[in-house]
Amino acid sequence: MRRILAEHMTTVEVVGLDDVEAYDEPVEDQPTFEGNALLKARAGVEVTGLPTLADDSGLCVDALNGMPGVLSARWSGPPKSDDRNNELLLAQLADVPDERRAAYFTCAVALVLPDGTTRVVNGRMDGRIIREVRGSGGFGYDVLFEADDRPGVTTAELTADVKDEISHRGKALREIAPVVADLLR
């Protein structure tokens, strides 16, 4: 966000969770990515009094009717485990042919200002789920996901710059950056 916002304005200091007094983050119990992003952004404003951006993202698999969806991080149950989530996803798709393994990552980014103003944008990266874990970068399901924009490599095998360019989160942040700049001027 710092890098992307700097393209639109240089007079705002972007701080992260590590830069403010620690607080208990809310339970992500909303049925949509937008709802969870707003929940987190509203909590940030309430505790810090600062304009707050928060996101929620996940993987949606067509053959699983959009699941794991908002449950992506907790798909295999507590405690959170990327390895267990990936094992479960592969098991659930074991009999699904390659042509039916379409999926997409989605990200909702919410901006909430102290006066209650809210904006939410979404980003999406289409692709498919492969049959084996590949790569060591990224996190979560990146080791199983090939983006349509970069076939043949998983998002865990992409450089950070390329992933930022095509990712759901990168797209959403680039969309919200000018909104942040306009609202904070």
Region of poorest pLDDT, from 7-16, 66-75, 160-169: 7-16
Q: Does residue 24 have an active-site annotation?
A: no
For residue 124, give its domain range: 2-184
CB 138 within 8 A of CB 167: no
Give every CB contact of residue 103 below 8 A, 6+ residues apart in sequence.
59, 60, 61, 62, 126, 127, 128, 129, 145
Residues 59-90 pLDDT 10s: 999 999 999 999 999 999 999 999 999 999 99
pLDDT band (50, 70, 90) for residue 56: very high
Compute the mean pLDDT over every residue in the chain, rounded to the nearest whole number.
94
> Does 105 appear as a known binding residue?
no
pLDDT above 70: percentage of residues in the chain: 100
The total of structural domains in the chain comes to: 1
What's the CATH code of the domain at 76?
3.90.950.10
Alpha helices in 52-153 (DSSP H): 82-92
109 vs 3, higher pLDDT = 109
pLDDT band (50, 70, 90) for residue 109: very high
Q: Which of 29, 56, 62, 126 is catalytic?
A: 56
CB 107 within 8 A of CB 33: yes
> Does 76 appear as a known binding residue?
no
Per DSSP, the residues of 132-158 read S---SSS-GGGGGEEETTSTTS-GGGS
**pTM, two decimal places:** 0.92
Report pLDDT for 16.
85
> Does 57 appear as a known binding residue?
yes
